[in-house]
Amino acid sequence: MFNPITIPFGAVMLHNVVKLKPGVTTEDVEMVIGEMCNTVKNTYGDDEGGFLGGQVFEYAGFVSEEGSFDPQHKSDDHIVIITYWQSFEQHEKSHADHVFKEKFDALAEYCTETWELGYNMLWQGTPED
């Protein structure tokens, strides 16, 4: 469940921002997100489904002055769900499935908005030994 992931070159990455309603905390949605992510892993995690791995991050409130044009910019509390897929088409097919939609709809009850952007991998690397 908390193992490192390896992403093959050529994978697509989906970046889903989940903005929580005022008063809703990460702890309030942990179980719902866990169920949704577990459903994706167990239902679409084969060659036909195309799911390769994922990560969930909570916004920590810090902004990099070195990596930002406008380091004064702050963001509302949110959670980011990053998923990796063999193809964008497989992602879309999985998310159109009623099994996933049921879990995502449960999360949406806690949110003011969500959006999900897709990215093609251009580079990856690790430090050389």
Q: In the Cβ-directed half-sphere of 28, how many Cα atoms lie within 13 Å?
A: 15
Helix (H, G, I), strand (E, B) or coil at 115: strand
User: What is the model's pTM?
Assistant: 0.89
Q: What is the pLDDT along the chain (129 residues), one digit of tens a residue?
A: 678 899 999 999 999 999 999 999 999 999 999 999 999 999 999 999 999 999 999 998 887 777 777 766 667 778 999 999 999 999 999 999 999 999 999 999 999 999 999 999 999 988 987
Distance CA 79, CA 18 (A): 5
Long-range contacts for 99-103 (Cβ within 8 Å, ≥24 apart)?
99/39, 99/43, 100/36, 100/39, 100/40, 100/43, 100/44, 103/32, 103/35, 103/36, 103/39
